[in-house]
Amino acid sequence: MSTDLTLYQRRRKPTLDEVQGIPWMPLLRPDERARAMAELVVGDAAAGDYVCRVGKPVTYWFGVVEGLLKMSADDAQGMTMTFTGVPPGGWFGEGTALKREPYRYNIQALRKSVVAGLPVDSFHWLLDHSIGFNRFVMNQLNERLGQFIAAREIDRMNNPDLRVARSLAALFNQVLYPGVGEILRITQQELAYLVGLSRQRVNEALRALEKQGTIRVEYGGLRVLDISALRSSKG
C-alpha cells in the first residue's frame, strides 16, 4: 500500500479483536451496537501521522486500539505544549464532537498505532438513543476535566522527577485508558516527548521512582507498583 495515502484513505473495517478492545461497545444494546459496528472504522497510523489538527473540522470521535498518541497545541509564541498521551483504550475529542467545532489541539501518533473512528453523526445518534453510551461519555468528560487541571499543574512544575511521576500517573487512569492494564508499553524517548524533558533526564527520574518502589522498569514498558504514591509524589 502506498505510504502517500492519508490515514483517512487507509481506513478499514475493524477486526473482531479490535472491536473487543473498545470499552464502550459492551454498554450498548444490540440495535445500538449494530449501528455502531456498521459505521466504525480503523486506520493504521505510522509514527508521525496526524489523527487530527488544530482548525480542522471534526468528522470522527477517535479512540486508540493499539499504540500511543500525543495531544498537543502551540501557544502564541510557537512553543508546543503537550497536554497528555493517549494509550490503548483511550477515546478522546468528545467535547469537540459534542459542539461540532474545529479542533483546538493536534493528535499525533508517537509510534505505529491503530486508531478507531466513529463518525460524528453516529456519535450524536448514540447520545440520543443510548443510556449506556451517555453514561460513558459523561464519565469521560468528568475525568477529562480533572486530567486537564492536572496537566496545567504538571506544566508548571520545575521538578523533573515530579513531572515524570505525575505524567505517568495520568497515563494509568483506568477510566480514560482501560486498555493500559498493569504495564504501560512506552519507551523512555516517548515519555520524554510527553513530559517535555530529555530522554536522559527521564531515565534519571525513572530510576529514582524505581528506587522508591513506586514503579518497576520492565522490558518494553513500566509497571506501576504504587499508583497512590505516583499521584501524591512531591518529588
Stretch(es) of the chain classified as CATH 1.10.10.10: 157-232
| Residues 34-84 pLDDT 10s | 999 999 999 999 999 999 999 999 999 999 999 999 998 876 666 677 778
Q: What's the pLDDT at 157?
A: 66
pLDDT value at residue 230: 85
User: What is the dotted CATH code of the domain comprising 16-152?
Assistant: 2.60.120.10
Q: What is the DSSP string of 35-94?
A: HHHHH-EEEEEPTT-EEE-TTPPP-EEEEEEES-EEEEEE-TTS-EEEEEEE-TT-EE-H
Q: What pLDDT does residue 2 have? A: 40
- What one-character-per-residue DSSP string does 164-203 give? HHHHHHHHT-TTT-TT-TTEE---HHHHHHHHTS-HHHHH
pLDDT value of residue 90: 94
Which CATH architecture describes the domain 157-232? Answer: Orthogonal Bundle (1.10)
CATH 2.60.120.10 range(s) for the chain read: 16-152
Other CB atoms within a 10 A radius of the CB of residue 71 amount to 22
Q: Do the beta carbons of residue 141 and residue 91 sit within 8 Å?
A: no
Annotate 118-143 with b (16+ C-beta within 10 A) or e (fewer). Answer: bbbebbebbeeebeebeebbeebeee
In tens, the pLDDT along 119-147 reads 999 999 999 999 999 999 999 998 888 77
CA nearest 137: which of 230, 27, 7? 27
Q: Answer yes or no: are the C-beta atoms of 39 and 122 closer than 8 Å.
A: yes
* Mean pLDDT for all residues in the chain: 89
